[in-house]
Amino acid sequence: MHIHILGICGTFMGGLAALAREGGHKVTGCDANVYPPMSDQLRALDIELIEGFGADQLALKPDLFVIGNVVSRGNALMEAILDAGLPYTSGPQWLAEHVLQGRHVLAVAGTHGKTSTTSMLAWMLDQAGLEPGFLVGGVPLNFGVSARLGKGKTFVIEADEYDTAFFDKRSKFVHYRPRTAILNNLEYDHADIFEDLAAIERQFHHLVRTVPAAGLLVVNAREDSLQRVLAQGCWSEVVRFGARKEEPGALRARGEPHAFDVLRGSLKIARVEWSLLGEHNQLNALAAIAAAQHAGVPPDVAAKALSSFVNVRRRLELRGEVNGIKVYDDFAHHPTAMRTTVNGLRRKVGVQRILAVFEPRSNTMKLGAMKAQLPWSLEEADLAFCHSGGLGWDAVQALAPMGAQAIVCDTIDKLVAQVVAAARPGDHILCMSNGGFGGVHGKLLESLQALKARAG
């Protein structure tokens, strides 16, 4: 089959393209911005990429057009497909029909931690010899690729609640029909799609409805929103994790996030010692261990796999160090994720200064839906620097409760200048964005290097 993918350079659609190519299909694709690293990965797979959405791409005559959710009505190519009455489908639907059919699907859903938890779970199954397939919304460093078909029965997928396509407004994850589903957490997000938290809870309930009675739901015990989801109806076994006190059958941790016992009730079933930081990763690990056991991996084997687990790119990733000043890159873009990331770094560096550098880039943040939470998300940072370019709301006003601790700049160059002027040896500069952030990491390191050279 020849498929032509519209919006191929997104993480999900790019991963789908790689799976289709590995499965023997001919794959071509287009996007508005064809650029590295995804463009390089796809071309390495001999996938032809076209810049833009021109109607002339009908001349490729694929058997099927696969439509990404970045495509909307008015898109020239999409309008031509509709006018010609040509066959098309969504990415999640194609994946469900051509990759997931007949597999034991393990789906990881939640507002935060999906990519890391999916990567952990895939690594556990891999190290147990199950040869899983996977599709991750990032690049797990243990594998070096975001997707592979795998030879085994299991398939691990990052299950996003974002909408499927312009013609299918259901959440992506309802297409996957998992036998094992992790519900990691649930907060309000995607303000461009969902009116309120209750609307997202309804979508999570739709996911719960697809899990068979012989399946398993792995649910965060700390999230009231997830308890409301289950209260709407549940037909599968539930294993809870993260309970703050002993709870029969539930998994919890005893110890620090980097070294802890895994308890089921009062019984120790495994020990995790690894390089990751933060209580959020500890919870991710508990969820992955419970899901892996449902696929046949004993908890002690799953926990041992974590000792060699390396997190996904852009998760507190150290990008460089100049004159004792370290620069990190992190994908955090929701206030809760930002707070969790800062806290994880704080646990690591103790009293050393943290300079948090961030841009409100997601659709939810650009709409200003969570601007009031920003001071809370940044309170463990010593200084906070916000890039306000392109916002429709006043970042200075939103960050006013932080006083002189917060600095707002409307360009990347001004931001870099302010951060470099404030930084001193021993500091940790933490850059947070779900985009490229204008190459701020490299610019910071270059400016710090130039400053060091001038100082002799």
User: What residue ranges define each of the domains in the chain, with the CATH number in brackets?
Assistant: 2-91 (3.40.50.720), 102-306 (3.40.1190.10), 317-455 (3.90.190.20)
Rounded to an integer, what distance in angstroms lies between the CA atom of residue 219 and that of residue 230? Answer: 9
Instruction: Retrieve residue 436's tokens.
Output: 């490229």
Amino acid at 97: E
Q: Which helix (H) or strand (E) holds 82?
A: helix 76-84
Helix axes 114-127, 279-294, angle to 10 degrees: 50
pLDDT of 140 = 87
pLDDT of 181 = 98
Rounded to an integer, what distance in angstroms lies between the CA atom of residue 421 and that of residue 322? Answer: 14
For the chain, give the longest Cα–Cα distance: 69
Distances (CA, A) of 257 to 34, 123, 275, 278, 282: 39, 19, 9, 6, 5
pLDDT of 314 = 75
pLDDT of 35 = 66
Do 124 and 289 contact (CB within 8 A), yes or no?
A: yes
- For the chain, 456 residues long, give each residue's pLDDT as a single digit of tens: 999 999 999 889 999 999 999 999 999 999 998 766 677 888 888 899 999 999 999 999 999 999 999 999 999 999 999 999 999 999 999 999 999 999 999 999 998 889 999 999 999 999 999 999 999 988 888 998 889 999 999 999 999 998 999 999 999 999 999 999 999 989 877 667 878 889 999 999 999 999 999 999 999 999 999 999 999 999 999 999 998 888 899 999 999 999 999 999 999 999 999 988 888 899 999 999 999 999 999 999 999 999 999 877 777 788 999 999 999 998 877 888 888 889 889 988 999 999 999 998 877 777 787 888 899 999 999 999 999 988 889 999 999 999 999 999 999 999 999 999 999 999 999 999 987 888 899 999 999 998 888 876
Instruction: Retrieve residue 167's tokens.
Output: 């013609």
pTM of the model: 0.82
Do 15 and 146 contact (CB within 8 A), yes or no?
A: yes
Rounded to an integer, what distance in angstroms lies between the CA atom of residue 315 and that of residue 185? Answer: 18
